[in-house]
A and B are shown apart, each in its own frame.
Chain A
């Protein structure tokens, strides 16, 4: 299977997530976070924050709020069981806090193969902004698709 390179440049559907304290505390618990500024509003305020901050990698979750976040891969013929996360990058503009309505705007920026098609790569750029357009972060993801039927 080879992904059609004409998908390069395609804008994917935007996704919106309104952050709340409960979700951030759940995320903090899941990652074993022990710094109280990520769970306790008073500790966050004492550290100069208006509320508990969304930790650095939480922003990856905005896009996953889409009811079917990997539909774009499936629509390209990818078997999702063979997908791996290759690389992930964040460039930060501002910290997000509870009450922020975050908008993720993803776009496919590259598609290429290696090892004679045994590995395919999809590169995606996602801008995260508040609903008013204030930039929060830029994300770049490299998604790796293993094609077990192709011998390198």
Chain B
């Protein structure tokens, strides 16, 4: 875990690289998350709307970014966390999660850092952008 006083504007979070997303991962995430949308696990459903293949749940990538955050600070310091889903993640995609502290301020007597977050794939596609506010 990171010592709070060492966190300043410009601090980069230790990046998190995730291996290729397999169909098994999508099946496990469908069951574990309760998101049974067939577009993520059923090739027939994907093809019925003209897609070549299933694609990963957006919330799976948001969970990876959540791991980036909880690897960095204890979870009870996360005040808020939000993302925008910018592009779909294909099967076998390899998400790379990054975070950068862009702002620090005192709120209600608490020192809080804003962390800009992103997930990108090996081909450079940005799939998620977002931010989190973390007590430091």
Q: Footprint of B on A, CB under 8 Å? A: 23, 26-27, 29-33, 35, 47-48, 53, 55-58, 60-61, 64-65, 69-70, 80-92, 95, 140
Contacts and interface: CB of A to CB of B under 8 A. Distances in A.
B81 A87 contact: no
A19 B118 CA distance: 29
Contact of A31 (B36, B39, B58, B64): B64
A55 B45 contact: no
Interface stretch (B5-13, B70-78, B105-113): B70-78
Nearest to B51: A81
B83 interface: yes
A58 B63 CA distance: 8
Given A55-B70, A70-B37, 5 more contacts: A47-B74, A81-B45, A83-B37, A85-B85, A89-B81
A60 B36 CA distance: 13
Contacts of A57: 59, 62-63, 66, 81
Given A32-B18, A81-B49, A65 B34 contact: yes
B31 interface: yes
B82 A80 contact: no
B30 to A, nearest CB: 8
Nearest to B62: A57
Given A26-B31, A29-B28, A91 B67 contact: no
A87 B83 contact: yes
Contacts of B70: 35, 55-56
Contacts of A80: 37
Given A57-B66, A80-B37, A85-B59, A35 B82 contact: no
Contacts of B33: 27, 30, 58, 60-61, 64
Interface string B69-109: 11100111011111111001000000000000000000000
B82 A90 contact: yes
B34 A95 contact: no
A139 B25 CA distance: 25
B63 A31 contact: yes
Contact of B29 (A31, A53, A88, A140): A31
Contacts of A48: 74
B121 interface: no
A31 B82 contact: no
Contact of A95 (B39, B48, B64, B76): B76
